[in-house]
Chains A and B, each alone.
Chain A
């Protein structure tokens, strides 16, 4: 059974650009959550999607957005990149039902220069 797949693994972008990250959850999992991890702030919750609907959103500016497709794959987009957006972006999938155990992908390391 394949795990959670995130692409790309590494990205280098320039300030002001935008970026799109992708996450394919474990087969059968319908919930995808996104997190930003930085050394100073730890794992910060960005948003959660279930059946193409955003059910919750963390305390991030509107430059951070996401969506989920009918096959449960999810994308997150960051527009007008800032230096402070440099981080490891992780997605986690769960069944979305009563089982809340989350499994993480390998992450996308974003560097903004």
Chain B
């Protein structure tokens, strides 16, 4: 079992729709969770961090965390073609001083 799992996609949504990206993790003791966006040929860019159960909203982005289910999600409202990228879920291992990344989900937003 991979430590951080994501559906590789591609996920295709029409412009203006809600894109839903999901991630599960295996280490129950993980405390910090992140979503990164990576455009083709570029380095990952941090877009959201979440540390406690529930929802966290930032503009068009909402991160959701359920530690009991070991599940993290990212919702992108009013999706734009510029949101087309690979979205990486990341989990920080408190005891191991390392952040583990999922393989990423490719999102395509069709104009």
Contacts and interface: CB of A to CB of B under 8 A. Distances in A.
Contacts of B45: 104
A100 B92 contact: yes
A42 B46 contact: no
Interface residues of B, number: 20
Contacts of A92: 99
Contacts of B34: 101-102
Contacts of A33: 98-99
Contact of B43 (A31, A42, A90): A90
B98 A45 contact: yes
B43 A106 contact: yes
Contacts, number: 45
Contacts of B96: 56
Q: Which of B32, B46, B97 has the most CB of A within 10 A?
A: B97
Contact of B100 (A45, A50, A104, A106): A45
Interface in B38-70: 42-46, 49
B47 to A, nearest CB: 11
B98 A56 contact: yes
B46 A56 contact: no
B88 interface: yes
A55 to B, nearest CB: 4
Question: Which 9 pairs from chain A and chain B are nearest by CB?
Answer: A43-B101, A42-B103, A55-B97, A104-B43, A100-B92, A100-B32, A56-B97, A56-B98, A48-B97
Interface of A: 31, 33, 35, 42-43, 45, 48, 50, 55-56, 58, 90, 92, 100-107
